[in-house]
Amino acid sequence: MSKLKEVERNVKQAFADGWGDFRPCAYFDERLDCIRVVTRDCSVLETRINPVLTLLEDNYHSESKGKRYVGFTIKGASHFCHEHGISLAVPVNIGKLLDAIAAQFPDTLVQLAVEIAKPIVQEQPEIGQIRIPKDAIPVPA
């Protein structure tokens, strides 16, 4: 059997029962040191607000689909927590992390973005906290 046919067979077998339903999620990407919060499976436009915060906006938003903003990304999450004394010994409250970002960056655009991001988390209690591994803290240069 050729490698291509073998890969095709394995993929079909892995997804034989379908993809399953999308569930809102928040996860920490250790390689990129970022938290991603996504509440809807859709095509998104990523708008970078500042070096830390990016908003995810539904590319094909309509009132019938729901809210325009469907998530956000916090870049340098473990580094930010380390720099601001946010403990990684327990799951990080994403709302409090957003408050810390707003306090660190008091400009209007960041404040508005945090006002958009906080309800995204508040409306999805299952994604309100995230565990960031302690060893994800970057070693100072």
- Asked if residue 11 belongs to a domain, the reply is no
Could you please report the per-residue DSSP string of 83-110?
HTT--SSSPEEHHHHHHHHHHH--SHHH
In angstroms, the CA 123 to CA 19 distance is 25
What is the pTM assigned to this prediction? Answer: 0.81
- Asked if residue 41 belongs to a domain, the reply is yes
Total domains in the chain come to 1
pLDDT in tens, 81-138: 999 999 999 999 999 999 999 999 999 999 999 999 999 999 988 899 999 987 776 5
pLDDT in tens, 30-60: 999 999 999 999 999 999 999 999 999 999 9
- Asked if residue 18 belongs to a domain, the reply is no
Burial label, 139 (beta-carbon count in 10 A; 0-12, 13-18, 19+): exposed
The residue segments making up the domain with residue 127 are 28-136
- Asked if residue 125 belongs to a domain, the reply is yes
- Asked if residue 132 belongs to a domain, the reply is yes
Confidence at residue 141, expressed as pLDDT on a 0 to 100 scale: 45
- Asked if residue 10 belongs to a domain, the reply is no
- Asked if residue 102 belongs to a domain, the reply is yes
